[in-house]
Amino acid sequence: MPIGYVLTVSTFTGIFMILTLSLNILTGYAKQVSLGHAAFFGIGAYASAILTVKFGLSFWAALPCVVAITTLVGVFLGLPSLRVSHDFLVLSTIGLNFIVGSVFKYSSFFGGSMGIVGVPTPELFGHTLGTPGYFGLTYTFVILAILTSFYFSKTWARLAMEAFGEDETAAKAMGINVAKFKIYAFAISSAYAGIAGALWAHYVGSVFPDNFGFDRSIDILAMLVLGGMGTIRGAVLGAFLLQVLPEALRVIQDYRMLVSGGILALMILFQPMGLLGRGSLLYRGFQTLRERLGRRAEGAI
């Protein structure tokens, strides 16, 4: 297998790891189920493409702007979550996907259905990044996303999100500002997704409306559900499996939407905690194995 192909698949996998980690904050911790996460992904990609192609900024100058833009959009689009929840929130996020997609497709500023091409590859120390360099850049951001997610998982904000995710009325009774933390969840999640979008745009070299449709949102959610919602390890594993397996089994590439939807339905029905979620069969198996090995080690001493 050519090393270039392996690096390309690995780079796309890294981008989806960042995306899945971003959705984990919104859906895994805050329990705000979103079927429109590809919209934030697309906003980040288009923002970076426009800033670099039309305004002449470098990737590095555009990236902070992309984070700011997607964070603000996340805050704005998170406001409806203060009034709706559960099924109605899911429907509103589906609508978000189609609204954003229509803006991209029918606005000449965004290139219409022809998209934006010629998005430049980033430079580092005066050298344009090749495939190995971009792989390294992507996984630098993956590591940063994992570390910041780990830090976030230890904060009061995560506990507050999990509290109102389980029972909003009880969380309010405990004095948690539910509105503030819902907005936080949308803002942080969309910022992560914006970074992933920028990485996608500059790696592919072009952006088109169809890259960020509803089927992409299903893919991202399926990755999170497969790996295990509310866990960093689950988000990373789910992205890895659903990116690498279709590449390994090329025969199912044309049925990606069907595969993602089927996995999503089966996991929700039979293993809602995912493969590595807290309380999942696999996670409990690892815990039991570790306890047994620990007892054997103690017995040997």
pLDDT in tens, 132-175: 999 999 999 999 999 999 999 888 888 888 888 888 888 888 88
CATH of 3-300, one of 1.10.287, 1.10.3470, 1.20.1270, 2.60.40: 1.10.3470
Token pair, residue 49, equals: 């493409």
Residues 67, 157, 30, 199, Cα dihedral to 10°: 20
Beta strand ranges found along the chain (DSSP E): 116-117, 123-124, 127-128, 206-207
pLDDT computed for residue 251 by the predictor: 60
Transcribe 185-241 into DSSP letters. HHHHHHHHHHHHHHHHHHHHSEE-GGGGSHHHHHHHHHHHHHH-TT-HHHHHHHHHH
pLDDT at 256 over 80: no
Instruction: Kindly tell me the number of DSSP H helices and DSSP E strands found in the chain.
Output: 12, 4
176 touches 163 (CB < 8 A): yes
pLDDT tier for residue 298 given thresholds of 50, 70 and 90: low
Name the residue ranges covered by the structural domains of the chain.
3-300
pLDDT at 207 over 90: yes
pLDDT at 59 over 90: yes
pTM: 0.88
Calculate what percentage of the chain has a pLDDT beyond 90: 47
